[in-house]
Structure 1
Amino acid sequence: MSNNLGMDGRKAPRSRVRMDSKVRHLQQEADGRVINISRTGLALELASKLHAAAGSSVVIQNDDIGLLEGVVRWNYGGRLGIMFKPNSNSIAKVAAYFRNFHQEVRPVLSR
C-alpha cells in the first residue's frame, strides 16, 4: 500500500509478542507489555498513564532484551509506538533477541 500522507512508514516487518516491560520517561515510570517488535522499534501497551509526546526519549526495560533507548513515535489509546535509537548497543540487543529468544505469538481464539 502506498503512503499518500507523506509520513514515514514502517521500515521492518513486525512480529507479535507478549513481553512484560517497564518504560521510563523523565521521572515517570509505567508498566506495560510489548505487543509487537521489529528490528527498528516496538509497540507497547501501557497498564497506566505515561505522559510522553511524540519525539520524547524513553528507556524500555525488559527481562529478555535488557535496557533499550528509544524515541516515542506515537502515543494513542494507552499504547506507545517506539523507534529504537540507532546505536550499536540497541541493534546488538535486538538482533540477539531475535536470534535466541523470539517466538511468534499467535492469537488463542480464531474467528
Structure 2
Amino acid sequence: MQNNLAMEVRSAPRSRCRLDGAVRYMRQVADCRIVNISRTGMALELYTAFHASTGSMVTIENSEVGLVEGLVRWNRGGRIGIQFRPNSNSSAKVAAYFRNFHQEIKPVLKR
C-alpha cells in the first residue's frame, strides 16, 4: 500500500474471510465476525457496541484461529482493526490458520 501522508500502514496483504468469534476488552465481550486477516492483523465487524480505544489490548477468540491478543489500531462504524502482538504464539496460530483452514472468500454481488 502506498503511503503518501507519512502514515503507518499495514505491512502484509489481507485475505477476506468470514469467521465468527468474540472480542474481549477488560470486562466487555462482544460477538464479532472476522472479515479479513493477515499475518500481522485482522479486521472485525462487531455485532454489538464495543468500547475500546486505539492502543487498547484486546483478546480475540475464534475456533479456527484460537485465542490471539492484539492492539486496537482503529475503531469506527461498527468495525475494529487489530494488530497482533508481535510474539511467537500469535504468529504461530495465524500461520497454522492459513496452512490448515483459510479459504479466500469472494464477494457475492458484483458491481
What TM-score range do you get, normalising by the shorter chain? over 0.9
Instruction: Map 1:9-24 onto structure 2 (within 5 A).
Output: 9-24=9-24
Q: Distance in 1 between matches of 2:3 and 2:99?
A: 31
1:76 corresponds in structure 2 to 76
Stretches of structure 2 lacking an aligned partner (at least 5 in a row): none
Q: What is the RMSD of the two structures over their aligned residues, measured on CA atoms?
A: 0.9
**Matches of 1:19 and 1:2 in 2, distance apart?**
28
CA distance in 2, matches of 1:10, 1:74: 12
What is the aligned residue count?
A: 111
Q: TM-score, normalised by structure 2?
A: 0.97
Residue 47 (structure 1) aligned with residue 47 (structure 2): yes
Residue range with higher mean Cα deviation, 86-95 or 1-10: 1-10
Structure 1 length normalisation: TM-score? Answer: 0.97
> Which stretches of structure 1, 4 residues or more, deviate above 3 A after TM superposition?
none
SS of aligned partner of 2:96 = helix
Q: How far apart are residue 2 of structure 1 and its match?
A: 3.2
**Which amino acid letter does the alignment assign opposite residue 96 of structure 2?**
A
CA distance in 1 between counterparts of 2:87 and 2:27 reads 23
What is the CA–CA distance in structure 2 between the aligned matches of 1:18 and 1:71, rounded to whole Å? 21
Identity of aligned residues (%): 65
Letter in 2 for 1:36: N
Instruction: String of CA shifts for 1:28-84, please: whole Å, max 9, x gaps.
Output: 000010000000000000000110000000000001011000000000101000000
Partners in 2 of 1:64 and 1:2 — Cα distance? 31
